[in-house]
Amino acid sequence: MRPLIFSLLLASASFAADDGFISLFNGKDLAGWDGDPKLWKVENGIVTGTNPAPEAMTNNSFLIWRGGTVKDFELHATIRVSGDNNSGVQYRSRELKEVAPWVITGYQCDIHPAIEHTGMTYEERGRGIFGLNGKNVMLDPDGTLWQLSEHSPVKVDVSQWNEYVIIARGNHLSHLINGQPTSELIDHDVKKRALEGLLAIQLHRGNPNRVEIKAMRLKVLPESPLVTFDTAALSTATKIEKPRTSRPQGTGPVVPVKK
């Protein structure tokens, strides 16, 4: 499977670097990507998705990469979000065509104006929030959530350009912003986890907002062995309830987004 995925990556990439990363945008158009043409375009070399009004979108809509699927990888994406709303990078995801075109479910690195949410580990239209910004967590085979460790949350202004990094190795997922770790997840929930799937960018329904992507680079990593569940790890972990949010879109008053 790996050679096919890698050949698809190279076929759709506009630039391949010596460090093994390939660029997923060509800087001119949305070649290799699939999204609602009413919402997504390229302006001055920047990929732009715009939700102009609360009534403009029935569902969150996604710009989906059609160059292949991702399994074990490292992704670097330079993104900013304006308006009182959020976005995210989907990975190892799948389409829900029965819901609507360009609707996705799966893992997400959240890009959210609320500090506790940005960079968190999350599953769109699935199991919800796993680890908030500053929390490293584990799901046991029964889907119970455990906190392994914590650190100070990474504080960023999502309306400015920031680099979001996702590293996926087996069932171990890591998120970073500007080189600083935000959240990690070890997923032992065999029935519900995903080890391969689609890559996409989220445009959120509701409050007007705009997401802009200046760069996105992907490196395919050698397939990693899965982290084995060991009950001994629970002796130093804390069982927690899955986090919920009172701010599913943004943090406060709606900020108009210019078309």
Average pLDDT rounded to a whole number, residues 99-124? 97
pLDDT, tens digit (0-9, with 9 covering 90-100), for 174-222: 999 999 999 999 999 999 999 999 999 999 999 999 999 999 999 999 9
Query: pLDDT averaged over the chain?
Result: 92
The pLDDT value given to residue 246? 85
Average pLDDT rounded to a whole number, residues 230-235? 94
The pLDDT value given to residue 258? 54
34-43, 169-178, 240-249: lowest mean pLDDT where? Answer: 240-249
First to last CA, the chain: 42
Average pLDDT rounded to a whole number, residues 101-112? 98
Q: What is the pTM of this model?
A: 0.91
Q: What percent of the chain has pLDDT over 70?
A: 90
Range 2-240 classified under CATH 2.60.120.560: yes
Q: Is 90 exceeded by the pLDDT of residue 115?
A: yes
Q: Is 80 exceeded by the pLDDT of residue 57?
A: yes
Q: pLDDT confidence of 7, banded at 50, 70, 90? A: very low
Average pLDDT rounded to a whole number, residues 104-115? 97
- HEC string for the chain: CHHHHHHHHHHHCCEECCCCCEECCCCCCCCCEECCCCCEEEECCEEEEEECCHHHCCCCEEEEECCCCECCEEEEEEEEEECCCCEEEEEEEEECCCCCCCCEEEEEEEECCCCCCCCCEEEECCCEEEECCCEEEEECCCCCEEEEEECCCCCCCCCCCEEEEEEEECCEEEEEECCEEEEEEEECCCCCCCCCEEEEEEECCCCCEEEEEEEEEEEECCCCCCCCCCHHHHHHCEEECCCCCCCCCCCCCCCCCCC
Q: pLDDT confidence of 10, banded at 50, 70, 90? A: very low
Domain ranges of the chain: 2-240
Q: Is 90 exceeded by the pLDDT of residue 111?
A: yes
Average pLDDT rounded to a whole number, residues 126-149? 98
The pLDDT value given to residue 18? 65
Q: pLDDT confidence of 252, banded at 50, 70, 90? A: confident
